[in-house]
Every structure is written in structure tokens, then in C-alpha cells.
């Protein structure tokens, strides 16, 4: 089976998306939920157990409190209340803890933080309850979000007049779980315990009640937890907590029988004490089992997802020599006898492993819950990929052996630019294993882009001023048989070219100045938005522009940026698209003026603002019109005319439509980012890539680098909090999930998308399929590596605050890459 390199790469990335999705499903803990969903009708409470006797207690016990007031203090650490610090900074609270009618605990917040449920305030004559607590703690430096002892330990103080406190009764705070508060408040208010709650009753709250009521409270809590365990754990009967619960329920029934018989002997007292201990032990074990289930990784799903991604990456690497040859198709050996035999053998082994894992699993597993046809299809995919790798490796070894016998091959070596791009990309991938480098990843890309500019400056100097003793160097680039562009050609290692004196003086100096211009633009953009962890708090130009005192300056800068965008984009558009682009950019400014971000010169500062829905939809019409025109030209060039010029115009118009959409979604202070992006693309195209005859692989890697850098130039980071969700509501009067998701994702990944789209247009002449392959390969390497790193670091201190958000970003970036590869492939057909 033969496939073009572009179609092969697009297929590989699509399979990688599937593998990453399976990994994410196994990595992020599935919530423990009850399968019964009675939203409007509450289930009747479990009856009180009775051994042979009839118990008339089938309703919920009366509430203990009239109302609850929760005082939630952000980042309140336990030692801020208990101990010497509490006496100094919170003296009255310390007095209540030591001598008042209160119960004190140290509540542990499991990362990720569990949100406390909201409970609705029933009016009775019962006393009130005041809850003082913190959502999480903080480290000694004031940060939080990780899982250190200082960050997860929070005070939990329950204050009520119903609590009795004897003089001299010194109570040390016990360590409990933060999730225990939900069950405690529900019982205290006479409400059913939330079905999805994994917490247990804080027993000191009810220890002043009669024994029968205490046992009733504990029984209701254990019944709720046991039901939740049955619905989420296949082998729940073997769980120690479930066995304890059954034993406690039997003993409870015996106690109720004695109690109803009005037996007041010591046997009733000792049996009640034993039942209490049994219930408390069952509650602790059940809660621990369910909490472990919440925080447990699905290693089987993670392993299968990682294997799929690694298989695809290996297949891409082995196919690189053949895929990068000019006009070559890839031979995918799906019909050979050896392939068939190996395929069936691997499939049987994987099916056996799947059966063993699913039958011996003590916890829920996503892949085991899938229907057998779906799971079998996944095994077929893994087997086929492995067999394709073996076949490709065998063919590569045979071809390499034959090539070594050819003595006519010239000696070759890597060029300096090839080494820089390869080592820079590899260095970035390796840096993902350190939390500090993930938090400050923008610094890595800024460094790589700046280094690239300096290397290009050196290359332009060598090309414009070749020495008399310069010897032509033979270099092997990442792409063989590189495409030749019709542009002024300068001397470059490995290429013969006419003398540089043939160029005009202005052209030569423009070429020499272009890397420094790009470097200056990048430096200006770094000052626009501070990002990351270390520098996010520092003042930047964007903060200055968005202040209400500088709205006039922001308006002028936004108008100038929109004008620059039009001048740089309109040059490749048809007359109709050019007019639509101009009107669309005007609509962008009108939209921002309507919502109050910018001002027209004649607009008063206190004018009432609107949502700008009409103005935004006005722009959407032109975006869709330009995209439709570009798609029509692209199809026309492929189906009807087969005209390269029409194809180029169609790709540029699609790119122009995406630029207009980006201008609408980006905030006004980020419009210079879009303008500088277009300026750098223009400068690099005219004065770097074409004159210096960079091959398609080098150009692809440079586009990838700049796309990643511009992702951070617009203020993004690897923190979920920096996502600008306002982009998902531009032009929408109500929330619509699909449009809002698409707009938010596009607004976040404007940089990578626009640079990849520019790459598709730039290499549309001869090398778009090879560019697709290179882009897929360079995006696959960090994803595959990061899956391995996250798996090995899954118990790291910063796994939830640093590594897991980056994992989500990488997964979404891979999904966007799949869409871009589909665009590459469609343009190359």
C-alpha cells in the first residue's frame, strides 16, 4: 500500500491523537460517582438494622443545627490557627479552640483540591453552627497548589453552643480529610449525604447524642459509602471496609433488638461501644478506599496510550529517509505474508494480556470497561503498528546495506544550521523533565529564537561577503533534493551561486539587516506580556496599555496594528478578498470600541457600551467569505484547472481569513503581536528563506520555533489560568459549547496555527507534503517524550500544578497539529 508522505504523516498524527486521548483518560483520575441519578426525587434513607425485631426508625434523624455559617479563608494553614502563631494573630479563635464549645481538626486537602459542596440553611429550633476553615494552605514562600504538608494542611474548626466542653478538657486537633465536611454538614442539617461524597462523619460532632442516634448517623454514612464502593469497584466484596461494614451492621441489629426489648444491662453498653468502634473503622477504611480510587492512576490505559504514541513516532523516524525524498511515496507493507503472520501472533498475545489485566484488576479500568469490539479494534491497531515498524526497519536495513556497497557516494556532513535546529529541538524536549523549565518554557523558546536570529545573521554575512579562500562545503540537510525557489540566490554552504555583487546594494543590506530586525521585534514582544511563574507579577507594556488611563494610547496602537496587518496581508489576496479584509479589520476596531476597549476619535469616554454582538458577527461574515473564496480557489486548482497560481492564491486567502479571525479574538493590546508576526514572516520569506535557499525541513523547523515563541508572546503559559476564555464569547449572546470551544482554542493557539498556515502557503509549490511530514515529526517528539516523563513523575510534588496542565496543552497542540496536517495534505493533492 503506497501513501504520499503528507497523507502518511496526517494519518500518523491522527493515531497519535487517539493514543494521547487514551493516556489522558488513564492519567486523570475518574471521579467516583453514584450511578443512581434521582435529581427531583430523593431516595428513602436506609432503615435502621434490626435482628428479628421491628424498628420504626426509617426516616432521617432530626437536624442537629438550625443553620450553618461557613467562614472560608484562602490559604489558611493549620499552624496559623493552632499553636503560637494562632495565639498571636488569631487570639479569640485560639481561645475557642482551647476552652470554647468547639471541635478542632486538621483537614487534609488532597491534590487536586476538592471543592466543598453547597448545602441548603432548614429552619428549626436547633442551635447554629459556625465553620471556620481554609481551602488550602501555603508553603513558607507563600505559594500553593502542590502537595507539601504546609500546602495541604488546613484548620477546620466547628463552633456551636450544642457542643459541651468540660473545664480543663484539652483537645488536640485530629487529622481528618477535607472531604469529611460534606458528610458532617449533611447529617448536621438533617439532609441526605451527597451520593458522590467520599468523606466520613466527624464523630465528635455527634458524640453528645444518645447512643442510638450516634449509631443511626454512622449507619447512614456507611451505607452511603458502601453503595458508592459497589458502583465503582468491581471486587468490592473483598474490600476490608465492606467486610467491616457488614459486621457492624449485624452487630447494630443485635444492639437494636436489645434496645427495643428495653434491656439496660452492661451487655447493651458494651455491645454499643463495640458497634461504634466497628462503624468508625469501617468508615475510615471505606473512605480511604474511595479516596484512593479517586487519586489512582489507570496504569493500563496510560501504558496502552504511550505504546501507541511511541509506535507512531518510531514509524515516523524510520520512514524519514524515504519520506523526505523528492516526490517519493511511502510503501506501507500491509499485505505481505510475514506481516500477516506476525500480526496474528501479536494480536493473540495482546488479547491474552488484555484478558489477564481485566480479570485481575482490583480497581476500575477504562479499557476494560469498553465493549469487546472496541477493545479488539485497539489491539488490532497496536499489532498493525508494531508489524509496520518491523517491516519498515527490515527494509531500511536492507537498503542501507546496499547503499554502503556503492563507492560513488560523496562524503557529507551536517551544516551548522542543521545542527542548531536539531540540538535546539532536542534540548527543548529534554528540558520538559524539569518543573522549573516547564513553568518557564517561554524562556526556552525566546532563547532558541534569539539564537536562531544570530545564526541567520552569521549565515547572511558569509553569503553576502564570501572570502576568496572560501571552499564550498558539502552538507547533508534534513531534506534531500531541496526545492529551488525563484528568488535572488546567495552563496551558501553546499550550494553554488552567482557572485553576490550581482545583487543590488539595497537588497544586500536588507538581507544583512533582516535577522537583526527580527531579533529586535522579538525583544519588543517580550516586553508586551510577562508570563511564566517568576515574572508574571512584573509590570509590562500590556498592563500599562490596558489601564483605563491609557485608553487613547491603546486605541492608537490598535488602529496602527490593524493598518499594518492589512498592508502585509492584502498583497496576496484577490480584489474581492482584499475588500472583505479591509471591511473586516474595520469591523474589528468597531467591535472593540463597542465593548469599551478602545475609543474612536469622536467618541466620548463615558459613552455607554454594549456587547458588540452585531459588530463581531459582521466580522464573522467576512471571515467566512474569505475562507470560502480561498477554499473555492484551492478546489478549482486541484479539480478543474490544475493551476499552481490559483492554488497559491487560494492558500493565501485561507491564511488571510485566519488572520482576520485572530485579529477579532485577540485583545487590543495583543494586536501588535499579530502585526509583528506577519512582519517577521514577510521579512524571513523575502530576505532569508528564499535568498539563502533553505530546504523545506529547515524552513519547517523554523516555522515551528517561531509559532511556539508567539504562543508565549501573546501572554500564554503552561498554566491553565492564562487561557483567555473571553475569546470564546466574542459575538455570542448565549453560551454555545462547540463555537465557544473552537474560538477559545483558536484564540489560544493563534501563533502556532498562523505560522503553520503560512508554512503551507510558502511551501505549496513543491514541498508541502515533505513539510507536513517534518511538522508532524517535530510535534510528535515532545509529545511522546512528555508522556514518558509524566508517567515516571506521576508522584512528583508538582504533578498537578505544573506537569498535568502542560500535558493538557500538549494534547491540544497535537490535535491542532492533526488538523494542520490535514490542511497540508489537502493542499498537496
Note whether residue 666 is domain-resident. Answer: yes
Angle, CA of 732, 735 and 738, to the nearest 5°: 90
> What are the helix (H) ranges across 261-336?
266-294, 299-323
Tell me: do 730 and 582 sit in the same domain: yes
pLDDT at 1: 67
Note whether residue 484 is domain-resident. Answer: no
Tell me: do 581 and 658 sit in the same domain: yes
> With pLDDT > 70 as the criterion, what percentage of the chain qualifies?
85
**Region label for 530, one of left (φ > 0), alpha (ψ between -120 and 50) or beta (otherwise):** beta
CA dist 323 and 198 (Å) reads 53
CA dist 129 and 122 (Å) reads 13
pLDDT at 84: 83
Residue 59 is placed in which grid cell?
Answer: 426516616
> With pLDDT > 90 as the criterion, what percentage of the chain qualifies?
46
Tell me: do 127 and 259 sit in the same domain: no
CB contact set of 225 (below 8 Å; sequence gap of 6+):
198, 200, 241, 245, 283, 286, 287, 290
Sign, CA torsion 532/533/534/535: positive
Tell me: do 576 and 446 sit in the same domain: yes
pLDDT at 480: 35
CA dist 279 and 228 (Å) reads 16
pLDDT at 486: 38
* pLDDT > 50? residue 619: yes
Note whether residue 673 is domain-resident. Answer: yes
Average pLDDT over residues 80-97: 87
The 3-state DSSP class for residue 127 equals coil
Partnered with residue 71 across adjacent β-strands are 132
* pLDDT > 70? residue 239: yes
What's the mean per-residue pLDDT of the chain?
84
Q: Are 764 and 647 in contact (CB under 8 A)?
A: yes
Q: Tell which residue, 513, 514, 477, has the closest CA to residue 492.
A: 477
pLDDT at 41: 56
Greatest alpha-carbon span in the chain: 114
Note whether residue 806 is domain-resident. Answer: no
CA dist 537 and 664 (Å) reads 27
> What are the helix (H) ranges across 177-265?
180-188, 211-232, 240-260
Per residue in 724-745, pLDDT (tens digit) is 888 999 999 888 899 999 999 9
Q: For 118, which DSSP code?
A: P
Q: Are 769 and 825 in contact (CB under 8 A)?
A: yes
Q: Comparing 151 with 762, which gets the higher pLDDT?
A: 762
Note whether residue 498 is domain-resident. Answer: no
pLDDT at 5: 80
The H or E element containing residue 750 is helix 750-762
Strand 102-108 and strand 174-177: the pairing is parallel
Note whether residue 824 is domain-resident. Answer: no
CA dist 752 and 716 (Å) reads 12
Residue 818 is placed in which grid cell?
Answer: 492533526
CB contact set of 272 (below 8 Å; sequence gap of 6+):
211, 215, 255
- CA distances, 803 to each of 21, 169, 310, 574 (Å): 16, 46, 19, 46
Tell me: do 215 and 235 sit in the same domain: yes
Tell me: do 323 and 275 sit in the same domain: no
CA dist 553 and 704 (Å) reads 33
Q: Are 290 and 198 in contact (CB under 8 A)?
A: yes
CB contact set of 375 (below 8 Å; sequence gap of 6+):
354, 367, 368
pLDDT at 528: 92
Tell me: do 429 and 552 sit in the same domain: yes
pLDDT band at 328 (very low <50, low <70, confident <90, very high): low
Tell me: do 512 and 555 sit in the same domain: yes
Residue 780 is placed in which grid cell?
Answer: 510528535
CA dist 411 and 135 (Å) reads 65
Note whether residue 607 is domain-resident. Answer: yes
* pLDDT > 50? residue 336: yes
CB contact set of 16 (below 8 Å; sequence gap of 6+):
308, 309, 312, 313, 780, 783, 784, 814, 818
Tell me: do 134 and 116 sit in the same domain: yes
* pLDDT > 80? residue 329: no
pTM: 0.78
Partnered with residue 330 across adjacent β-strands are 3
The H or E element containing residue 425 is helix 416-431
Residue 556 is placed in which grid cell?
Answer: 492608537
CA dist 415 and 478 (Å) reads 10
**Region label for 538, one of left (φ > 0), alpha (ψ between -120 and 50) or beta (otherwise):** beta
Question: End of a domain among 295, 330, 361?
Answer: 295
Residue 790 is placed in which grid cell?
Answer: 509524566
Average pLDDT over residues 754-767: 84
Centre a 10 Å sphere on the Cβ of residue 77 and count the other Cβ atoms it contains: 24
Residue 568 is placed in which grid cell?
Answer: 502585509
Q: Comparing 154 with 403, which gets the higher pLDDT?
A: 154
How many domains does the chain divide into? Answer: 4
Q: Compute the chain's Rg from CA coordinates.
A: 33
* The 3-state secondary structure of 231-256, one letter per residue: HHCCCHHHCHHHHHHHHHHHHHHHHH
Tell me: do 550 and 687 sit in the same domain: yes
Q: Tell which residue, 740, 714, 709, has the closest CA to residue 727.
A: 740
Per residue in 369-421, pLDDT (tens digit) is 889 999 999 999 999 999 888 888 888 888 777 766 665 555 556 788 989 99
CA dist 827 and 764 (Å) reads 7
Per residue in 5-20, pLDDT (tens digit) is 888 889 999 999 999 9
pLDDT at 678: 96
* pLDDT > 90? residue 187: yes
Residue 134 is placed in which grid cell?
Answer: 481554609
CA dist 531 and 714 (Å) reads 9
pLDDT at 741: 93
Q: Comparing 249 with 471, which gets the higher pLDDT?
A: 249
Centre a 10 Å sphere on the Cβ of residue 343 and count the other Cβ atoms it contains: 19
- For 275, list phi and psi in degrees, rounded to 5: -65, -40
Residue 815 is placed in which grid cell?
Answer: 490535535
pLDDT at 488: 37
* pLDDT > 70? residue 686: yes
Tell me: do 136 and 232 sit in the same domain: no
Q: Are 607 and 553 in contact (CB under 8 A)?
A: no
Partnered with residue 159 across adjacent β-strands are 102, 130
* pLDDT > 90? residue 713: yes
The 3-state DSSP class for residue 175 equals strand
The H or E element containing residue 368 is helix 366-369
Q: Comparing 117 with 420, which gets the higher pLDDT?
A: 420
* pLDDT > 70? residue 567: yes
Tell me: do 307 and 291 sit in the same domain: no
CA dist 438 and 569 (Å) reads 34
Per the structure, the complete domain to which residue 620 belongs is given by 416-464+505-766
pLDDT at 473: 40
Half-sphere exposure of 471 (CA within 13 A, CB side): 2
Residue 482 is placed in which grid cell?
Answer: 531541496
Q: Comparing 168 with 349, which gets the higher pLDDT?
A: 349
pLDDT at 55: 67
Angle, CA of 740, 750 and 684, to the nearest 5°: 165
Per residue in 464-492, pLDDT (tens digit) is 877 644 444 433 333 333 333 333 334 44
Question: End of a domain among 208, 233, 250?
Answer: 208
* pLDDT > 90? residue 223: yes
Note whether residue 472 is domain-resident. Answer: no
Residue 238 is placed in which grid cell?
Answer: 473483598
CA dist 64 and 174 (Å) reads 22
Per residue in 11-67, pLDDT (tens digit) is 999 999 999 999 999 998 777 777 665 544 567 888 888 766 666 677 788 888 989
pLDDT at 54: 66
Question: End of a domain among 166, 184, 208?
Answer: 208
CA dist 77 and 318 (Å) reads 54
Q: For 764, which DSSP code?
A: T
Amino acid at each position: 500500500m503506497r501513501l504520499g508522505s503528507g497523507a502518511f504523516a496526517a494519518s500518523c498524527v491522527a493515531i497519535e491523537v487517539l493514543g494521547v486521548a487514551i493516556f489522558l483518560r488513564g492519567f486523570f483520575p475518574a471521579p467516583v460517582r453514584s450511578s443512581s441519578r434521582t435529581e427531583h426525587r430523593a431516595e428513602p434513607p436506609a432503615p435502621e438494622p434490626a435482628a428479628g425485631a421491628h424498628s420504626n426508625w426509617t426516616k432521617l434523624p432530626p437536624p442537629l443545627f438550625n443553620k450553618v455559617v461557613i467562614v472560608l479563608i484562602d490559604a489558611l494553614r493549620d499552624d496559623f490557627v493552632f499553636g503560637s502563631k494562632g495565639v498571636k494573630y488569631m487570639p479569640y479563635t485560639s481561645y475557642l479552640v482551647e476552652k470554647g464549645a468547639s471541635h478542632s481538626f486538621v483537614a487534609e486537602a488532597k491534590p487536586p483540591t476538592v471543592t466543598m459542596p453547597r448545602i441548603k440553611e432548614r429552619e428549626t429550633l436547633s442551635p447554629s453552627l459556625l465553620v471556620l476553615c481554609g481551602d488550602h494552605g501555603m508553603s513558607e514562600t507563600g505559594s500553593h497548589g502542590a502537595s507539601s504538608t504546609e500546602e495541604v494542611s488546613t484548620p477546620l474548626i466547628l463552633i456551636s453552643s450544642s457542643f459541651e466542653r468540660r473545664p480543663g478538657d484539652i483537645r488536640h486537633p485530629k487529622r481528618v480529610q477535607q472531604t469529611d465536611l460534606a458528610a458532617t454538614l449533611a447529617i448536621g442539617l438533617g439532609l441526605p449525604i451527597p451520593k458522590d461524597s467520599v468523606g466520613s462523619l466527624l464523630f465528635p460532632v455527634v458524640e453528645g447524642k444518645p447512643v442510638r442516634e450516634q449509631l443511626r448517623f454512622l449507619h447512614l454514612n456507611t451505607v452511603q459509602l458502601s453503595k458508592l464502593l459497589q458502583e465503582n469497584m468491581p471486587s468490592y466484596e473483598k474490600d476490608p471496609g465492606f467486610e467491616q461494614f457488614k459486621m457492624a451492621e449485624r452487630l447494630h441489629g443485635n444492639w437494636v433488638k436489645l434496645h427495643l426489648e428495653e434491656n439496660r444491662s452492661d451487655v447493651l453498653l458494651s455491645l454499643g461501644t463495640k458497634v461504634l468502634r466497628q462503624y468508625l473503622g469501617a468508615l475510615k477504611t471505606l473512605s480511604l478506599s474511595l479516596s484512593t480510587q479517586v487519586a489512582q492512576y489507570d496504569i493500563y490505559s496510560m501504558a496502552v496510550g504511550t505504546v501507541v504514541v511511541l509506535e507512531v513516532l518510531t514509524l515516523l523516524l524510520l520512514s524519514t529517509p524515504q519520506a523526505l525524498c523528492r516526490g517519493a511515496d511511502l510503501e506501507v507493507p500491509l499485505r505481505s505474508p510475514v506481516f500477516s503472520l506476525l500480526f496474528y501472533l501479536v494480536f493473540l498475545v495482546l488479547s491474552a494480556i488484555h484478558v489477564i489485566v481485566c480479570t485481575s484488576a482490583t480497581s476500575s479500568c477504562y479499557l476494560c470497561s469498553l465493549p469487546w469490539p472496541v477493545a479488539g479494534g485497539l489491539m488490532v491497531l497496536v499489532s498493525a503498528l508494531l508489524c509496520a515498524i518491523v517491516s519498515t526497519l527490515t527494509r531500511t536495513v536492507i537498503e542501507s546495506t546496499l547503499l554502503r556497497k556503492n563507492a560513488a557516494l560523496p562524503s557529507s556532513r551536517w551544516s551548522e544550521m542543521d545542527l542548531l535546529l536539531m540540538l535546539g529541538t532536542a534540548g527543548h524536549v529534554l528540558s520538559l523533565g524539569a518543573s522549573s523549565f516547564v513553568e518557564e518554557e517561554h524562556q526556552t523558546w525566546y532563547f532558541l529564537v534569539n539564537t536562531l536570529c544570530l545564526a541567520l545573521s552569521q549565515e547572511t554575512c558569509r553569503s553576502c561577503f564570501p572570502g576568496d579562500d572560501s571552499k564550498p562545503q558539502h552538507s547533508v540537510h534534513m531534506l534531500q533534493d531541496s526545492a529551488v525557489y525563484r528568488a535572488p540566490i546567495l552563496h551558501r554552504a553546499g550550494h553554488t551561486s552567482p557572485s553576490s555583487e550581482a545583487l543590488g546594494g539595497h537588497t544586500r543590506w536588507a538581507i544583512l539587516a533582516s535577522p537583526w530586525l527580527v531579533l529586535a521585534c522579538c525583544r519588543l514582544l517580550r516586553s508586551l506580556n510577562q508570563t511564566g511563574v517568576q515574572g508574571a507579577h512584573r509590570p509590562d507594556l500590556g498592563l500599562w496599555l490596558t489601564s483605563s488611563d491609557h485608553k487613547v494610547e491603546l486605541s492608537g496602537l490598535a488602529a496602527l496594528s490593524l493598518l499594518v496587518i492589512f498592508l502585509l496581508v492584502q498583497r496576496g489576496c484577490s480584489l474581492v478578498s482584499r475588500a472583505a479584509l479591509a471591511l473586516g479589520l474595520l469591523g474589528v476596531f468597531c467591535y472593540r470600541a463597542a465593548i469599551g476597549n478602545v475609543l474612536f476619535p469622536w467618541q466620548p469616554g463615558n459613552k455607554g457600551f454594549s456587547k458588540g454582538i452585531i459588530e463581531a458577527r459582521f466580522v464573522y461574515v467576512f471571515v467566512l467569505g474569505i475562507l470560502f473564496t480561498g477554499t473555492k480557489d484551492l478546489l478549482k486548482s486541484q479539480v478543474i484547472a490544475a493551476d499552481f497560481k490559483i492554488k497559491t492564491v487560494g492558500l493565501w486567502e485561507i491564511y488571510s481569513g485566519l488572520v482576520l479571525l485572530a485579529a477579532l479574538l485577540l485583545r487590543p493590546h495583543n494586536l501588535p503581536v499579530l502585526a509583528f508576526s506577519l512582519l517577521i514572516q514577510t521579512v524571513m520569506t523575502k530576505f532569508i528563506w528564499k535568498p539563502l535557499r533553505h530546504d523545506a525541513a529547515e524552513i519547517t523547523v523554523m516555522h515551528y520555533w517561531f509559532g511556539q515563541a508567539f504562543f508565549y508572546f501573546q501572554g500564554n503559559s503552561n498554566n491553565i489560568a492564562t487561557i483567555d476564555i473571553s475569546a470564546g464569547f466574542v459575538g455570542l449572546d448565549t453560551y454555545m459549547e462547540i463555537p465557544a470551544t473552537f474560538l477559545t482554542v483558536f484564540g489560544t493557539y493563534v501563533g502556532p496555527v498562523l505560522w503553520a498556515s503560512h508554512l503551507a502557503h510558502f511551501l505549496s509549490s513543491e514541498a508541502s507534503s515533505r513539510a507536513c511530514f517534518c511538522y508532524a515529526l517535530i510535534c510528535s517528539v515532545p509529545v511522546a517524550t512528555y508522556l514518558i516523563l509524566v508517567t515516571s513523575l506521576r508522584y512528583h510534588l508538582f504533578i498537578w500544578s505544573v506537569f498535568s496542565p502542560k500535558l493538557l496543552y500538549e494534547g491540544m497542540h497535537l490535535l491542532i497539529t492533526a488538523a494542520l496536517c490535514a490542511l497540508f495534505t489537502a493542499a498537496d493533492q
